[in-house]
Every structure is written in structure tokens, then in C-alpha cells.
Amino acid sequence: MKKKVMFIGAGLTIGSALLVTSAFANMGGADGYEAYKSAIKQTASVASATHGITLSVQDNGNELISATTTVKSSETDGGVSGQAVIRAGAEPQTFDFYDQAGEQVFKAGGSDTYYVGSNADWSDRRDHAPKDAAFGKEMENVVDALVGNLKNQVALSRSSDGGQTVDLKLTGSQIPAAANIIGSILAKQAMNAHPEQAGQGTPGSNPFGLDVRQIAAALPKLTDDIKIAEVALHAEIDGSNYLSSQKVDFTITGKDASGLAHKVVVGADMALSNIDATTPDRIDLSGKKTEAMKEWHRGR
């Protein structure tokens, strides 16, 4: 379940959310650090769940992009299903996606075509993934050491029902220099993807009916003084030690080519429900218009 939800079609929303979760999975500190890390591990072990994910990008207080996704996933049958709505401009874009019976299926809301691909490559990658528990523990120790004193920045509070709340807020010099440099480079690259590079008639311009140009055009083009100004995390852990919800915000500041200052806030709000009681939806492709994903990737 955890590995499959990042297949094509969910990448714009779920992939980002899982990346945020992974980045913070070992950033707790003292009691807060251990509580959050324990909840991450407990949540990753669920057999099935429904994930609600909302992503947003704001620039100087104005919302540029928002994406809302609901994902049902189950390790029991290896299935995943979901629906997403992306707003970047006047018209929202919607799409449905499925991972079922060895196939990945993607359909954009404005299209009657179902794009179908095999997930055999995913199986190959899983088979070669490290499974040694000792290796996992060693990597955890490495990250713990890299986190260092940042773990002491986490606040932990407990409620009467056995739940816990974890909060982390880093600003300015509290953000490690290396993380700020790497984050600034990634932000600059992401925000300066030119829409014309994904023009009509070129692979990548309109994959599966999803208009990537519209999304790229909505982002500000930062060129100078780019830095990660603030990182904030708020997580709710329920009485069963599951990470029931969390909200992460990254604040990026910088200037565009004209010298105009921008304050970009990238937020991810995630919730978990129906733990070990979720059954993914399935799509019957009989009689429907289908097209192989691999044909598009070859540059049809």
C-alpha cells in the first residue's frame, strides 16, 4: 500500500505529501521526536486506510494552486484507488486513478479515455528493496545523528484520551544551512520550469488529459535571494498511536527577475481514516476506451 500510492496519476498530489512525511519522519526531538517517529512507524504498518490530502501553494497571500485528493489503499489485495481535483487557474482539473489486478489506470475528468499500464516495474523495485531490519535501524541512527539538536525544537502535549500532539516550528537560523541551500535550489528549479517547454504537441504538455502547462504557469519565477524562511509541522497522534492528521507548511522567500519580492507558502494537510477497514474502488474497463500508457511515453 505505502509504496504503490505514488504511481502515475497520484504523483502531483500524493507524491508530494509522502515526500513531506518522509522528510519529517525522523525529525522529532526528545519526547516529541520519539512520539512522532513511533507514530510514523505504527501508521506505516496499517493494512488499509483512507488518506485525505490537501496541498496548496500561496504567493503573497494569494492562492495559486490547490489540490485535494482522497486515496483508498490496501495491502491485503495490493489495490489503490483515488480521485483528485487540482485548481491552478480558472478551470479545475480532475482525475481518477486505480492500481488493481497488476494494472495502473488513469483517467482525466475531461476525457473518456482510460490510460492503462502494467505495474510490473513496481514489483521489480520492491523485490530489490532493502529488507534487512538491521540496515533500517542503522539508517535511522544516521538520521538521528544528522538531526542533532533540532530534536529539542519539538513540542509534545498529551490529551486525556491518550492522544498526543506534536508541533515543530523552525525559522531563520534554526533551519540548517545545508537544508536551506538544497531547498532553495530545488525551489528555484521547480518554480522556473517554463510552460513553453511543455508546449502543444510535445510529450509532457498534456499527459493523459492533464494540463501541466497550466500548473507550471501559476508558479512565480523566483531568481534571487531564495531561501527557506520557515518550516512548521503540526501532527495529531490518536490513542492507538496512529498519525491521524498532520499539517506541514514551508515558507519560501525570494525575488523574481523584476525585483518583486515573493513569499511563497507550500502547505500539505493530511488525514488518515478507516484504518484497517478500507476497500479500494475498482474500475471495470469492459467496453471503455483504453490506451496503453507506454505508447504515450514513447512520444506519440
pLDDT single digits (tens) 140-152:
666 666 566 667 7
If phi over 0 gives left and psi between -120 and 50 gives alpha, with beta otherwise, what is residue 299?
left
Strand segments, DSSP code E, in 186-258 are 222-237, 243-256
Contact yes or no for 49/272 (Cβ under 8 A) = yes
Mean pLDDT, range 234-239, rounded to an integer? 94
Q: Based on the structure, what is the number of domains in the chain?
A: 1
State the CB neighbour count (10 A cutoff) for residue 263: 15
Task: Write down how long the chain is.
Answer: 300
pLDDT of residue 186: 75
Contact yes or no for 274/50 (Cβ under 8 A) = yes
3-class DSSP state for residue 254? strand
- Identity of the amino acid at 73: S
Question: For residue 194, what pLDDT band results from cuts at 50, 70 and 90?
Answer: low
3-class DSSP state for residue 170? strand
- Identity of the amino acid at 89: G
Which range has the top average pLDDT, 49-53, 130-134, 142-146?
A: 49-53
State the CB neighbour count (10 A cutoff) for residue 85: 16
Contact yes or no for 273/49 (Cβ under 8 A) = yes
Residue pLDDT, tens place only, 155-191: 899 888 889 999 988 888 888 776 777 777 777 777 7
* Rounded Cα gap, residues 130 and 132, in angstroms: 6
* Rounded Cα gap, residues 161 and 290, in angstroms: 50
State the CB neighbour count (10 A cutoff) for residue 216: 19
How far apart, in Å, are the Cα atoms of 222 and each of 110, 184, 251? Answer: 32, 10, 13
Contact yes or no for 70/51 (Cβ under 8 A) = yes
- Please tell me the pTM assigned to this model: 0.76
Question: Which of 65, 32, 77, 68 has the alpha carbon at shortest distance from 279?
Answer: 77
Mean pLDDT, range 13-21, rounded to an integer? 44
Domain of 55, in residue numbers = 4-297
Taking CA 141 as the corner, what is the angle to CA 139 and CA 145, rounded to the nearest 5 degrees? Answer: 120
Question: For residue 9, what pLDDT band results from cuts at 50, 70 and 90?
Answer: very low
**What percentage of the chain carries pLDDT values higher than 90?**
39
**What percentage of the chain carries pLDDT values higher than 70?**
70
For residue 17, pLDDT beyond 80: no
